[in-house]
Structure 1
Amino acid sequence: MTRRVLLGAAAAAAVSGVAVGIHQFGSSAPPLSVPTPSRDPSFSPTPPASPEPAPVGKPGWGGPVPFKADRVMLGAYLDLSGMTFAQAMALRRHQLGRGEKIIHLFYGFTDHLPSSLSDLPANTIPLISWRGVPYQNILSGHSDSIIKAAARNLARLRQPVFLRWAWEMNGNWYPWGGPNNDNNPQGYVDCWRYLHRLFTQQGAHNVAWVWSINWNNRPPVASNRFQSYYPGDSYVDWVGLSGYDLGHESPQTMYDPLYNAYAARKPVFVTEIAAADFGGVTKGDFIRKFSAYVAARPAIGAVAWFDTDTHKDAPYNWRIDANADSLAAYKAMAASARFAG
């Protein structure tokens, strides 16, 4: 499949990758990553595996955004055609009978991260996806002023916030991906720890650090294994991943490798997920499979759906109400006790 990128307005250069995404809250929002379907002959997916027994939570799990045993915080990146953000939020509240627990927002690396979020309802937790840069831009110290300003702004929120910096680093479509940085996962680890240290120095103790991979390693070579990019338990509060139903992959195929690797140590956050509509009940069927998958994996504590139809260059309608069956399936999932976080 041809892989494409639609970068935000402030992106400096195009890189080879996968389609789409601009959010109204950030001036240079990064693209959505769409997974390469398993029918791609260059990719051999990890076989589904039975999940390892996971604890129901340890003291301090989740950091500033605590993990709740057997409860999932459900939210979304929400951008609906022809609607303001407030209108989209109101529509989903009416359809689901509940508000979004998490709202996903995208920002470029040089954007001013928010110091207030007055447009968000009370008790909503922001998930800030903050673009990365090539590793040397961080490790040289040349970006210190940007990093410190970002930390101070998030500290001023005076509420817990998820921060997902430089996601999907195990792919080759972003300038901060390991394959675009001399195949050097340790460089990514060093950058993460560098940011973490500066945030701590600036008093951003309300930040829950979300380390988030792509569900498959691209390219699938030994030097690009997602485990090689892990900064260490002391620097990560939640582990996460992006995984879209684009090639009829099962939840087990996409999510079990990360779950089995870290669920005994960290709470799991599905940071980007949606299903393409292949006709009939295919979209609803994936939502039902995902709901059952989460019910069987107690370490999953947060999910942010990619709920949008505004990406005109991509032939996918990611909205949860793309059809009546998909909306019914999502409503049932949102109403279940497991997703009552």
Structure 2
Amino acid sequence: MSSGHREGEQGLTRRGLLGLGALGAASAAGVYGMWKAASRETTHTVSGTPSATGPVEPAPPSATPSPFAAVADPAKLGGVVPFTPGKALLGSYLGLTGMSYPEAVRYRRKQLGRDHRIVHVFYAWPDQLPTSIEGMPKKAIPMVSWRGPKYDKILSGDSDELIATAARRLKQLDRPTLLRWGWEMNGRWYEWGGFQNKRDPEGFIKCFRHLREIFDDQGADNVSWVWSPNWRSSPDEHWNRMEAYYPGDKFVDWVGVSGYDFDREKPPTLFDPIYQKYASRKPILITEVGSKDYGGTSKADWITEFSEYVAQRPAIGGSVWFDTDTHPNYPERWRFDTDPRSTAAYKAMATSPRFSA
């Protein structure tokens, strides 16, 4: 999102921040065993070339990176949440006015004729991470976005037990789980970003690697790790380029990205910069996306353009809509069903073969 959208979020819990509602005790789906054999690590080298973060024109087919050209074994992509060639997971952060989370899930199922495959939930750094999520569809994959602290709290070792406890709790989910720690680190609006940590991207890398090492030590082998910058760096300075925060291929299973059309940006503008950097090495997960309504058919048209964009980018393995009208401090209703044409456009995307993973 933007720095303006992020104002006022510091210090809020996941419930106060995003209005998810209670997370309760529900039995896990038990699908973890189907995925457990997948490896979580790749062994290729780290690379990254600085590039502009401004508007990007749609890449012609010849300029679009060949998916996974640098990967020795594409079957291992995504870790325990594997990438499926030709298909994408459709997910959402779901928070609708007047509905509990289970009620909202049932409402969306009735509208779309299907469930979302990724369930996006947010947690503050000191929160206990979930061992179950009430109302989650049986075949859904949780994506846990876990807020970070300042780097010193991790690198000092003072948070090691907190991290180990979090690892043990996510292990109890007993299903493949996406962990998105410290998202949008290349923005100025979060305390775990480089801007608020003495302009030190290397500190973020050390934190990310430290977390993963502790999780591995705790046997949390149902977790796939998502590294997820914002589509545009703020401040837009060389030291703050997104690739300066990349922990390395060994530590990252999915490359994520947040992007919203706050200023009528088209999907290629939002997502091609990261696609062009990483699509030859990692599956791409659009971890937050939403569209504003500028009147007429603008929102429906944007959803259709987004669906077509994903269809043209084979390395995109999933997309998670910010499906809510309850976000504090901002009036935009990001939910997809703000008018019948937008609802129809989203349903067409949700029922397309591309989103059948």
TM-score w.r.t. length of structure 2: 0.85
**Secondary structure in 2 aligned to 1:75?**
strand
What is the identity, as a one-letter code, of the residue corresponding to 2:326? T
Match of 1:53 among 66, 75, 83: 66
What is the identity, as a one-letter code, of the residue corresponding to 1:75? G
Select between 206-215 and 85-94 the one with higher mean Cα deviation: 85-94
Change in Cα spacing, 1:55 to 1:234, as seen in structure 2 (3 Å) is closer
Q: Does residue 192 of structure 1 match 2:194?
A: no
Change in Cα spacing, 1:108 to 1:140, as seen in structure 2 (3 Å) is same
After TM superposition, list the pairs within 5 Å mapping 1:177-326 onto structure 2.
Answer: 177-326=193-342
Alpha-carbon contact 2:230-2:259 (below 8 Å) kept: yes
The structural deviation recorded for 1:44 is 6.6
**Secondary structure in 2 aligned to 1:243?**
strand
Match of 1:83 among 93, 99, 108: 99
Match of 1:24 among 21, 25, 28: 21
**Secondary structure in 1 aligned to 2:145?**
strand
What is the identity, as a one-letter code, of the residue corresponding to 1:48? E
Alpha-carbon contact 1:25-1:107 (below 8 Å) kept: no
Give the distance between the partners of 1:225 and 1:49, measured in 2 at CA: 21
The structural deviation recorded for 1:46 is 3.9
Give the distance between the partners of 2:226 and 2:53, measured in 1 at CA: 27
Give the distance between the partners of 1:192 and 1:124, measured in 2 at CA: 25
Change in Cα spacing, 1:119 to 1:240, as seen in structure 2 (3 Å) is same
What is the identity, as a one-letter code, of the residue corresponding to 1:21? L
Q: Find runs of 4+ consecutive structure 1 residues off by over 3 angstroms.
A: 8-11
Could you give the per-residue CA deviations for residues 107-140 of structure 1, whole angstroms, max 9, x where no partner exists?
Answer: 0110000122343121110000000111111000
Which residue does 1:7 correspond to in 2? 9
Could you give the per-residue CA deviations for residues 216-244 of structure 1, whole angstroms, max 9, x where no partner exists?
Answer: 00000000000000000000000001000
Alpha-carbon contact 1:8-1:22 (below 8 Å) kept: no
Alpha-carbon contact 1:162-1:209 (below 8 Å) kept: yes
Q: Percent identity?
A: 46
Match of 1:98 among 108, 114, 117: 114
Alpha-carbon contact 2:149-2:192 (below 8 Å) kept: yes
The structural deviation recorded for 1:55 is 4.1
Give the distance between the partners of 1:187 and 1:200, measured in 2 at CA: 20
**Secondary structure in 1 aligned to 2:84?**
coil
TM-score w.r.t. length of structure 1: 0.89
Alpha-carbon RMSD: 1.8
Alpha-carbon contact 2:123-2:145 (below 8 Å) kept: yes
Unaligned runs of 5+ in 1: 12-19, 27-42
